[in-house]
Amino acid sequence: MKFFITGHTGFKGSWFALMLQSQGHEVMGYSLDPLKDGIFVSADVGGRISRDTRGDIRDVSSLENALRSANPDVVVHMAAQPLVRASYENPAETFEINVTGTLNVLKAIRKSVKPKAIAVITTDKVYRNLGEGRPYSELDALGSGDPYSTSKAMADLLAQTWAKNVTNSPVGIFRAGNVIGGGDVSENRLIPDIVRSQKIGNSVKLRNPSSIRPWQHVLDCLYGYKAAIEWMLAKGESTILNFGPPNDVYRTVGEVATKYLEISKGGDWILDQSSGFPEANFLALDSSKARQLLGWSDIFSLEETLTATHDWYSAQSQSAEMFEFTKQQIENHRMQGNFS
């Protein structure tokens, strides 16, 4: 089967491309250039997939040409401005990429190809956070917040409207939380920030150590996406699904940092006293719909997630062959989950 991924040079996009490639699928990607030292470069993702096209989702003509040339069975839209802090610094660009960019992708699909399924990746932050301290389900209302969260809620609603009124292809809207894994080099994310601090010998600083998030290994999240796409292909129906860990894996930022530092033998963390930006104190997902509909569940515990992540960064620091190492982690996850 042929998959076309926007944002394939990013953290989740790179892992998904390699996971699909390991399953024998033809993978084609359309994205901006990758970040230095991330998984895309380290694991030679571009050299392993069928087509690696660089382009901006704001460039409609280029996007249409790439889709028409690829003629995929499945389109997975992952390209985004994914960082909350960056959305405060440049809100207009965040909305342009996440909202108008999503519209461009959907328009280009409609004009250029007829895929069997479309997946639009949003986020746990699309929900209207009322501070109730409970996991959000797919039936909860979406809402506004920081520019990133609002832009993704708008993209989510756009995709819902498109599925109901415009396209004949089934559309899956997938919302996930805080995914962890090797090769993430984005700023203001917990594990990459810890890894950077350890490399230069600085203290690890945490802004909001008491905040609770739905932590999950990137492969568990992507395994859910793939299972949902297979369901859409079989049923010919659209769906909206959360992908998050079970309730017992909701941990605070401080707890996750402490555990990773223990695994990596990297010392301790301190409180960041500098002024930050507003963040939700509790954010969690109710993923019971995905568990019931797909038979999906997380494979890795939190400790296994953090250990596998540390192992990846450790191998990279020792100049290991990272495509083979990443491929082996994908295979280990597949075998542990006992799925094809």
Distances (CA, A) of 161 to 166, 228, 229: 8, 19, 19
pLDDT of 340 higher than 60: no
pLDDT tens sequence across 119-153: 999 999 999 998 888 999 999 999 988 999 999 99
Q: Is residue 86 part of a domain?
A: yes
Q: Which residue has the higher pLDDT, 278 or 296?
A: 296
> What confidence score (pLDDT) does residue 274 get?
77
Distances (CA, A) of 241 to 8, 37, 163: 21, 32, 14
- Residues 171 and 302 sit within 8 Å (Cβ to Cβ): no
336, amino acid identity: Q
* Residues 230, 232, 233: CA angle, nearest 5 degrees: 65
> What confidence score (pLDDT) does residue 337 get?
82
> What confidence score (pLDDT) does residue 247 get?
79
**The total number of structural domains that make up the chain:** 1
Q: Is residue 223 part of a domain?
A: yes
pLDDT of 311 higher than 70: yes
In the chain, what is the straight-line distance between the N-terminal and C-terminal CA atoms, in Å? 15
Mean pLDDT of 87-107: 97
Query: How far apart are the C-alpha atoms of 96 and 151, rounded to whole Å?
Result: 9
Q: Is residue 235 part of a domain?
A: yes
- Residues 193 and 83 sit within 8 Å (Cβ to Cβ): no
- Residues 149 and 108 sit within 8 Å (Cβ to Cβ): no
Angle, in degrees to the nearest 10, between helices 253-264 and 302-317:
50
pLDDT band at 39 (very low <50, low <70, confident <90, very high): very high
Query: How far apart are the C-alpha atoms of 144 and 140, rounded to whole Å?
Result: 13
Mean pLDDT of 187-201: 93
Query: How far apart are the C-alpha atoms of 29 and 101, rounded to whole Å?
Result: 16
Q: Is residue 333 part of a domain?
A: no
- Residues 74 and 118 sit within 8 Å (Cβ to Cβ): yes
241, amino acid identity: L
Per-residue HEC secondary structure of the chain comes to: CEEEEECCCCHHHHHHHHHHHHCCCEEEEEECCCCCCCHHHHCCHHHHCCEEEECCCCCHHHHHHHHHHHCCCEEEECCCCCCHHHHHHCHHHHHHHHHHHHHHHHHHHHHHCCCCEEEEECCHHHECCCCCCCCECCCCCECCCCHHHHHHHHHHHHHHHHHHHCCCCCEEEEEECEEECCCCCCCCCHHHHHHHHHHHCCCEEECCCCCEEEEEEHHHHHHHHHHHHHHHHHHCCCEEEEECCCHHHEEEHHHHHHHHHHHHCCCCEEECCCCCCCCCCECCECCHHHHHHHCCCCCCCHHHHHHHHHHHHHHHHCCCCHHHHHHHHHHHHHHHHCCC
* Residue recorded with tokens 């989740």: 12
Q: Is residue 207 part of a domain?
A: no
Which residues, other chains included, contact 167 with Cβ-Cβ below 8 Å and sequence gap of 6+?
106, 109, 110, 118
**At 67, which CATH number?**
3.40.50.720
Q: Is residue 75 part of a domain?
A: yes
Q: Is residue 319 part of a domain?
A: no
Q: Which two tokens stand for residue 53?
A: 């096209």
> What confidence score (pLDDT) does residue 339 get?
64
> What confidence score (pLDDT) does residue 338 get?
67
Mean pLDDT of 163-190: 96
Share of the chain above pLDDT 70, in %: 99
pLDDT band at 12 (very low <50, low <70, confident <90, very high): very high
- Residues 17 and 8 sit within 8 Å (Cβ to Cβ): yes
Hey, how many other C-beta atoms are within 10 angstroms of the C-beta on 64? Answer: 18
Domain that holds residue 175: 2-185+214-251+283-303
Q: Is residue 336 part of a domain?
A: no
